[in-house]
Amino acid sequence: MKILPLLLLLFSLACGRRSFRVLPGDPDYFLRAPDSKQVPFREVLNGYNGFVPGKGWLDLRPRMELRVENAYYQEGAPKRGLNGYLGTEIAQYQVRSNGRLRLLAIRPMPQRPADQVPVQDLLSAAQQQHPYCRFFFEVLFQGRARGSVLLGASSLDELNQLTTRLKAAPESVCAPQTTHCTVFPEACSVSLEMDIEVNNASRTVPWNSTLASIAPHPRRVTLRRLYEGRNTPVQVDPNDPKALRLPLLPGDQIIWN
Protein backbone atom coordinates (compact mmCIF):
# COMPACT_ATOMS: atom_id res chain seq x y z
CA MET A 1 0.00 0.00 0.00
CA LYS A 2 2.98 2.31 0.46
CA ILE A 3 4.33 1.64 -3.02
CA LEU A 4 1.84 3.88 -4.86
CA PRO A 5 2.60 7.07 -2.86
CA LEU A 6 6.31 6.40 -3.33
CA LEU A 7 5.88 5.99 -7.08
CA LEU A 8 3.86 9.21 -7.27
CA LEU A 9 6.60 11.04 -5.37
CA LEU A 10 9.31 9.70 -7.66
CA PHE A 11 7.23 10.63 -10.72
CA SER A 12 6.73 14.15 -9.36
CA LEU A 13 10.46 14.58 -8.73
CA ALA A 14 11.28 13.28 -12.20
CA CYS A 15 8.86 15.74 -13.80
CA GLY A 16 10.36 18.55 -11.74
CA ARG A 17 13.80 17.75 -13.09
CA ARG A 18 12.46 18.00 -16.64
CA SER A 19 10.94 21.46 -16.20
CA PHE A 20 11.83 25.02 -15.35
CA ARG A 21 10.56 26.40 -12.06
CA VAL A 22 10.07 29.99 -10.91
CA LEU A 23 11.31 30.40 -7.34
CA PRO A 24 10.61 33.32 -4.98
CA GLY A 25 13.57 35.41 -3.89
CA ASP A 26 14.46 38.73 -2.34
CA PRO A 27 14.98 41.15 -3.99
CA ASP A 28 14.80 39.10 -7.22
CA TYR A 29 12.96 35.94 -8.17
CA PHE A 30 14.87 33.05 -9.76
CA LEU A 31 14.33 30.74 -12.70
CA ARG A 32 15.61 27.24 -12.04
CA ALA A 33 16.46 25.24 -15.16
CA PRO A 34 16.01 21.47 -15.53
CA ASP A 35 19.74 21.08 -14.76
CA SER A 36 19.07 22.82 -11.39
CA LYS A 37 20.97 25.97 -12.37
CA GLN A 38 19.26 29.05 -10.86
CA VAL A 39 19.34 32.43 -12.59
CA PRO A 40 17.88 35.69 -11.22
CA PHE A 41 15.19 37.20 -13.42
CA ARG A 42 17.46 40.15 -14.21
CA GLU A 43 20.02 37.78 -15.80
CA VAL A 44 17.67 35.62 -17.88
CA LEU A 45 18.11 37.73 -21.04
CA ASN A 46 21.85 37.97 -20.46
CA GLY A 47 22.10 34.19 -20.63
CA TYR A 48 20.34 34.23 -23.98
CA ASN A 49 22.26 36.90 -25.86
CA GLY A 50 24.43 38.88 -23.46
CA PHE A 51 21.82 41.58 -22.85
CA VAL A 52 22.60 43.89 -19.93
CA PRO A 53 20.33 46.91 -19.24
CA GLY A 54 22.28 50.11 -19.84
CA LYS A 55 25.09 48.31 -21.69
CA GLY A 56 24.12 49.91 -24.97
CA TRP A 57 24.18 46.85 -27.23
CA LEU A 58 23.03 43.27 -27.59
CA ASP A 59 23.57 40.35 -29.93
CA LEU A 60 20.88 39.14 -32.30
CA ARG A 61 19.83 35.52 -31.88
CA PRO A 62 17.46 33.22 -33.81
CA ARG A 63 13.76 34.19 -33.74
CA MET A 64 14.58 37.77 -32.79
CA GLU A 65 13.43 40.46 -35.20
CA LEU A 66 14.72 43.84 -36.28
CA ARG A 67 12.02 46.40 -37.06
CA VAL A 68 13.31 49.36 -39.09
CA GLU A 69 11.00 52.36 -39.47
CA ASN A 70 12.38 55.22 -41.53
CA ALA A 71 10.83 58.69 -41.77
CA TYR A 72 10.55 60.54 -45.08
CA TYR A 73 10.40 64.26 -45.81
CA GLN A 74 9.70 66.60 -48.66
CA GLU A 75 12.67 67.09 -50.96
CA GLY A 76 14.99 69.70 -49.53
CA ALA A 77 13.43 69.69 -46.05
CA PRO A 78 15.55 68.91 -42.97
CA LYS A 79 15.34 65.19 -42.14
CA ARG A 80 14.10 65.76 -38.60
CA GLY A 81 11.08 67.08 -36.71
CA LEU A 82 7.67 67.67 -38.29
CA ASN A 83 8.59 70.27 -40.89
CA GLY A 84 8.10 68.61 -44.28
CA TYR A 85 7.35 65.22 -42.75
CA LEU A 86 5.47 62.87 -45.10
CA GLY A 87 5.33 59.49 -43.39
CA THR A 88 7.31 56.31 -42.78
CA GLU A 89 8.25 53.01 -44.36
CA ILE A 90 8.82 49.85 -42.30
CA ALA A 91 11.01 46.83 -42.97
CA GLN A 92 10.85 43.76 -40.73
CA TYR A 93 13.80 41.35 -40.53
CA GLN A 94 13.96 37.99 -38.77
CA VAL A 95 17.10 36.31 -37.44
CA ARG A 96 17.22 32.84 -38.98
CA SER A 97 18.61 29.72 -37.30
CA ASN A 98 22.01 30.33 -38.97
CA GLY A 99 22.16 33.87 -37.55
CA ARG A 100 21.61 35.61 -40.87
CA LEU A 101 18.87 38.18 -41.40
CA ARG A 102 15.87 37.56 -43.63
CA LEU A 103 13.56 40.31 -44.87
CA LEU A 104 10.06 39.32 -43.78
CA ALA A 105 7.89 42.25 -44.83
CA ILE A 106 7.93 45.80 -46.15
CA ARG A 107 5.33 48.48 -45.58
CA PRO A 108 6.08 51.14 -48.22
CA MET A 109 4.68 54.62 -48.37
CA PRO A 110 2.95 55.98 -51.48
CA GLN A 111 4.95 58.41 -53.57
CA ARG A 112 8.17 58.21 -51.60
CA PRO A 113 10.47 61.16 -52.51
CA ALA A 114 12.95 60.19 -55.22
CA ASP A 115 15.93 61.62 -53.29
CA GLN A 116 15.46 59.20 -50.35
CA VAL A 117 16.20 55.47 -50.42
CA PRO A 118 13.60 52.78 -49.69
CA VAL A 119 13.68 51.51 -46.13
CA GLN A 120 14.83 48.02 -47.21
CA ASP A 121 17.92 49.53 -48.88
CA LEU A 122 19.21 50.89 -45.57
CA LEU A 123 20.44 47.37 -44.76
CA SER A 124 22.62 45.97 -47.56
CA ALA A 125 22.33 42.42 -48.85
CA ALA A 126 25.91 41.76 -47.73
CA GLN A 127 25.12 42.92 -44.20
CA GLN A 128 22.20 40.52 -44.01
CA GLN A 129 24.47 37.53 -44.72
CA HIS A 130 26.66 37.84 -41.61
CA PRO A 131 26.02 34.96 -39.16
CA TYR A 132 26.92 37.17 -36.18
CA CYS A 133 25.17 40.51 -35.64
CA ARG A 134 25.31 43.02 -32.80
CA PHE A 135 22.97 45.98 -32.46
CA PHE A 136 24.06 49.23 -30.79
CA PHE A 137 21.27 51.51 -29.62
CA GLU A 138 23.33 54.68 -30.01
CA VAL A 139 26.81 55.54 -31.28
CA LEU A 140 28.29 59.06 -31.37
CA PHE A 141 30.14 59.97 -34.55
CA GLN A 142 32.33 63.02 -35.00
CA GLY A 143 30.66 65.84 -36.85
CA ARG A 144 27.22 64.25 -36.97
CA ALA A 145 24.36 63.18 -34.77
CA ARG A 146 24.15 59.96 -32.81
CA GLY A 147 22.73 56.95 -34.58
CA SER A 148 21.95 53.30 -33.99
CA VAL A 149 24.36 50.82 -35.55
CA LEU A 150 24.28 47.20 -36.67
CA LEU A 151 27.58 45.34 -36.84
CA GLY A 152 27.97 42.08 -38.75
CA ALA A 153 30.82 39.58 -38.76
CA SER A 154 31.73 36.06 -39.84
CA SER A 155 32.78 34.98 -36.34
CA LEU A 156 32.30 36.00 -32.72
CA ASP A 157 35.98 36.92 -32.43
CA GLU A 158 35.69 39.23 -35.42
CA LEU A 159 32.53 40.76 -33.96
CA ASN A 160 34.30 41.46 -30.66
CA GLN A 161 37.22 43.05 -32.50
CA LEU A 162 34.86 45.28 -34.46
CA THR A 163 33.11 46.25 -31.21
CA THR A 164 36.41 47.33 -29.65
CA ARG A 165 37.24 49.42 -32.70
CA LEU A 166 33.75 50.91 -32.83
CA LYS A 167 34.06 52.17 -29.26
CA ALA A 168 37.47 53.74 -29.92
CA ALA A 169 37.02 55.08 -33.44
CA PRO A 170 33.57 54.46 -34.92
CA GLU A 171 34.42 56.17 -38.22
CA SER A 172 37.10 53.54 -38.92
CA VAL A 173 34.58 50.70 -38.65
CA CYS A 174 31.59 52.41 -40.24
CA ALA A 175 33.37 53.92 -43.23
CA PRO A 176 31.49 54.27 -46.54
CA GLN A 177 31.08 51.06 -48.55
CA THR A 178 31.79 48.84 -45.54
CA THR A 179 29.98 45.50 -45.42
CA HIS A 180 30.32 45.12 -41.66
CA CYS A 181 28.50 48.22 -40.40
CA THR A 182 25.13 49.86 -40.98
CA VAL A 183 24.53 53.30 -39.48
CA PHE A 184 20.82 54.05 -39.45
CA PRO A 185 19.75 57.64 -40.23
CA GLU A 186 18.77 60.01 -37.46
CA ALA A 187 15.16 59.92 -38.66
CA CYS A 188 15.12 56.12 -38.48
CA SER A 189 13.72 54.19 -35.53
CA VAL A 190 15.03 50.65 -34.99
CA SER A 191 13.44 48.34 -32.45
CA LEU A 192 14.12 44.76 -31.40
CA GLU A 193 11.34 42.23 -31.17
CA MET A 194 10.93 38.47 -30.81
CA ASP A 195 8.63 35.70 -31.98
CA ILE A 196 6.49 33.88 -29.43
CA GLU A 197 3.23 31.94 -29.45
CA VAL A 198 0.17 33.03 -27.45
CA ASN A 199 -2.90 30.80 -27.21
CA ASN A 200 -1.71 28.83 -30.26
CA ALA A 201 -1.23 31.93 -32.42
CA SER A 202 2.09 33.42 -33.55
CA ARG A 203 2.84 36.84 -32.12
CA THR A 204 5.66 39.37 -32.22
CA VAL A 205 6.42 41.27 -29.00
CA PRO A 206 9.07 43.81 -27.98
CA TRP A 207 12.37 42.51 -26.70
CA ASN A 208 12.48 42.57 -22.87
CA SER A 209 8.75 41.72 -22.61
CA THR A 210 7.61 39.82 -19.52
CA LEU A 211 5.00 37.13 -18.95
CA ALA A 212 2.85 39.77 -17.22
CA SER A 213 2.82 41.88 -20.40
CA ILE A 214 1.07 38.99 -22.16
CA ALA A 215 -0.97 37.57 -19.28
CA PRO A 216 -1.47 40.47 -16.81
CA HIS A 217 -4.05 38.88 -14.48
CA PRO A 218 -4.37 35.21 -15.45
CA ARG A 219 -6.59 32.66 -13.79
CA ARG A 220 -4.47 29.98 -15.39
CA VAL A 221 -1.23 30.16 -17.33
CA THR A 222 1.07 27.58 -18.86
CA LEU A 223 4.44 28.41 -20.37
CA ARG A 224 6.78 26.22 -22.39
CA ARG A 225 10.35 27.21 -23.24
CA LEU A 226 12.94 25.69 -25.56
CA TYR A 227 15.57 23.74 -23.66
CA GLU A 228 18.06 21.44 -25.37
CA GLY A 229 15.87 21.41 -28.47
CA ARG A 230 12.61 20.59 -26.66
CA ASN A 231 9.64 22.64 -25.51
CA THR A 232 9.94 22.36 -21.74
CA PRO A 233 7.31 23.36 -19.16
CA VAL A 234 7.93 26.36 -16.90
CA GLN A 235 6.23 26.01 -13.54
CA VAL A 236 4.96 29.44 -12.48
CA ASP A 237 2.32 30.52 -9.97
CA PRO A 238 -0.31 32.60 -11.85
CA ASN A 239 -1.44 34.15 -8.54
CA ASP A 240 2.00 35.63 -7.80
CA PRO A 241 2.44 39.01 -9.59
CA LYS A 242 6.20 38.93 -8.99
CA ALA A 243 6.47 35.50 -10.64
CA LEU A 244 4.78 36.94 -13.73
CA ARG A 245 7.70 39.35 -14.16
CA LEU A 246 9.62 36.48 -15.75
CA PRO A 247 11.31 37.77 -18.95
CA LEU A 248 10.14 36.09 -22.13
CA LEU A 249 12.48 34.53 -24.68
CA PRO A 250 12.05 33.90 -28.41
CA GLY A 251 10.08 30.73 -29.06
CA ASP A 252 8.15 30.80 -25.77
CA GLN A 253 4.68 29.24 -25.94
CA ILE A 254 2.01 30.67 -23.63
CA ILE A 255 -1.52 29.48 -22.95
CA TRP A 256 -3.57 31.61 -20.56
CA ASN A 257 -7.05 32.76 -19.63
Domain boundary among 141, 165, 191: 191
pTM given for the model: 0.84
Name the band, by pLDDT with cuts 50, 70 and 90, for residue 98: very high
Residue 124 and residue 32 share a domain: no
231 lies in the same domain as 126:
no
Asked if the structure places residue 14 within a domain, the reply is no
Q: Kindly state whether residue 23 falls inside one of the protein's structural domains.
A: no
Are residue 61 and residue 183 in the same domain, yes or no?
A: yes
Cβ atoms of residues 255 and 233 within 8 Å: no
Same domain, 86 and 178: yes
Residue 251 confidence class, pLDDT cut points 50, 70, 90: very high
Q: Does residue 180 share a domain with residue 62?
A: yes
- Read off the pLDDT of each residue in 115-122 and give the average, rounded to a whole number: 94
Distance between alpha carbon 251 and the CA centroid of its chain, in Å?
11
Residue 14 pLDDT > 90, yes or no?
Answer: no
Tell me if 37 is assigned to some domain.
yes
Which H or E run contains 161? helix 156-168
Which DSSP helix (H) or strand (E) runs through 214? helix 211-214
Residue 178 lies in a domain: yes
| C-alpha atoms less than 13 angstroms from C-alpha of 128 in its C-beta half-sphere | 17
The percent of residues in the chain predicted with pLDDT above 90, rounded, is 74
| Residue 16 binned pLDDT confidence (cut-offs 50, 70, 90) | very low
165 sits in which H/E element: helix 156-168
pLDDT at 10 over 90: no
Residues 33 and 94 in one domain: no
Position 103 in a domain? yes
H/E/C letters for each residue in 121-151? HHCCHHHHCCCEEEEEEEECCCCCCCEEEEE
User: Would you state the pLDDT for residue 149?
Assistant: 96
Residue 17 belongs to some domain of the structure: no
Range of the domain at 33: 28-47+208-256
Specify the DSSP element, H or E, that contains 95: strand 85-95
Average pLDDT over residues 175-184: 90
pLDDT tens for residues 220-245? 999 999 998 899 999 999 999 999 99
221 plus 153 within the same structural domain: no
Does residue 145 sit in the same domain as residue 126? yes
93 lies in the same domain as 219: no
What does the pLDDT average to over 180-207?
94
User: E strand or H helix at 170, and its extent?
Assistant: helix 170-173
Is 91 in the same domain as 162? yes
1 belongs to a structural domain: no
Q: What is the C-alpha to C-alpha distance for residues 46 and 50, in angstroms, rounded to an integer?
A: 4
- pLDDT at residue 8 greater than cutoff 50: no
Which residues have C-beta within 8 Å of that of residue 211, sequence separation ≥ 6?
221, 223, 236, 243, 244, 245, 246, 248, 254
Residue 20 lies in a domain: no
Does residue 164 sit in the same domain as residue 225? Answer: no
Q: Does one domain contain both 69 and 161?
A: yes
Give the amino acid at 242. K
What's the mean pLDDT in 198-216?
Answer: 96
Residue 85, pLDDT > 50, answer yes
Query: How many domains is the chain built from?
Result: 2
Name the helix (H) or strand (E) containing 45: helix 44-49
- In this structure, of 31-35, 64-68, 77-81, 116-120, the range with the lowest mean pLDDT score is 77-81
